[in-house]
Amino acid sequence: METKFKEKINLMGLNKKALEDFFVSIDEKPFRATQIIKWIHQRGVSDISQMTDLSKNLREKLMAKCEIRVPEVVYEKTSKDGTKKWVIKVGEKDLIEMVLIPEKNRSTLCVSSQVGCAVDCSFCATGKQGFSRNLGLDEIIGQVWVAANSFGLPREPNSRHITNVVMMGMGEPLLNFEPVVGAMNIMTDDNAYGLSKRKVTLSTSGIVPKIDELSKVTDIALTISLHAPNDKLRDELVPINKKYPIQELLDSVKRYVDSCDDKRVTTIEYILIDGINDGLDHAEELSELLKQLPSKINLIPFNAFEGSNYLKPSGNRVKRFQAFLQDRGYVTTIRSTRGDDIMAACGQLVGQVNDRTRRKERSKNQIKTKAL
């Protein structure tokens, strides 16, 4: 008969409060929590025996009860433009992806919050995959841990290789609220990754009650995936709109912004799909709609993936849309496509280990990934 061992506590998955409670429960002082956070998240150490500012006794006590489970990287690849993608195995069978995008003065890590996504936006490969499960706090912060360690160990003190984190990988972060907020708190903790709240961004398709909940616990940067200037079109592209229509969404964003200590301009993400939402009439409607909210607009030319009938608009159409909004006074940027040769671009993340150099294997792999 199979013997079941009690699973050890995973210290990677505990936020500061949970760590403090844990230490109190084993008759230790709560300040130990900060020491552990520093070891794991500031120094990148996963071996309790190396935590030399804890007494040998305490280390042994901890090793008997706990461990630090690090994500299992099953594939990593660097794109021609320097974008790096990791595929990580979570649990028994699920695969998630994260992407690091280096630029001149910053490096942005794009983190996943769920395996798949239930929102099912019509243009998104992750959505088309369906929803498998939420990631735990350990699996979310573990992505940042892996990326930070990829710059080499021991980590240089105060090295800030990753300057920005965006919750724009797989999944809808506000539908996995507690673990996402817990992980973001570790990202901004000075004893951990020390990122500024303005540089940790949660992107949402618009889960209105959760935006209100978020305003009560944090003031990290919030971006809204709008993608359409009216409810009729948004119902089609972002089906959650039927539940939380545009005006309700914008009202909740206003409440969020009001709750922040500093003045905020909200970033509105707008995917451009050829012939669907990229006309000048759409730009006009969008510019009228956003008059009510200080916003800047980030245009994302649609990235193709297998099984989608949508097309990327021509560069001219994208520029025309941008110019229209700029004329109306909106700061409007175009998100450059990074890492698409390794299927690491926005909307291409489905948890698969293939790339263009292995294009022929792709459909085979996708079937395998789905069947896993």
> What is the per-residue binding string for ligand SAH in 170-199, x denoting contact by CB under 6 A?
--x---------------------------
What are 230's two structure tokens?
A: 């009216």
Specify whether the CB–CB gap between 114 and 371 falls below 8 A: no
- Out of ligand SF4, ligand SAH, none, what residue 201 binds, judged by CB under 5 to 8 A for its kind, is none
From the list 20, 97, 139, 269, the catalytic residue is 97
Is 67 an annotated catalytic residue?
no
Out of 97, 120, 189, 340, point to the residue binding ligand SF4 (CB under 6 A).
120
From the list 66, 117, 121, 346, the catalytic residue is 346
> What is the per-residue binding string for ligand SAH in 121-140, x denoting contact by CB under 6 A?
--xx----------------
Q: Does residue number 277 form part of the binding site for ligand SAH (CB under 6 A)?
A: no
Q: Does residue number 33 form part of the binding site for ligand SAH (CB under 6 A)?
A: no
Specify whether the CB–CB gap between 98 and 109 falls below 8 A: yes
Is 346 an annotated catalytic residue?
yes
Q: Does residue number 204 form part of the binding site for ligand SAH (CB under 6 A)?
A: yes
Number of other residues whose CB lies within 10 A of the CB of residue 173: 30
Binding-site size for ligand SAH (CB under 6 A) equals 15
Candidates 122, 140, 81, 139; CA nearest to 273 is 122
Q: Does residue number 97 form part of the binding site for ligand SF4 (CB under 6 A)?
A: no
44 or 171: whose CB is closer to ligand SAH?
Answer: 171
Out of 40, 95, 109, 119, point to the residue binding ligand SF4 (CB under 6 A).
119
- The minimum distance between CB 345 and ligand SF4, in angstroms, equals 13
What are 58's two structure tokens?
A: 């305490």
Out of 124, 186, 253, 300, point to the residue binding ligand SF4 (CB under 6 A).
124
- Kindly list the residues in this chain that would bind ligand SF4 in the complex (CB under 6 A): 117, 119-121, 124, 126-127, 171-172, 205, 225
Chain residues binding ligand SAH by CB under 6 A are 123-124, 168, 172, 203-205, 225, 269, 271, 300, 302-303, 346-347
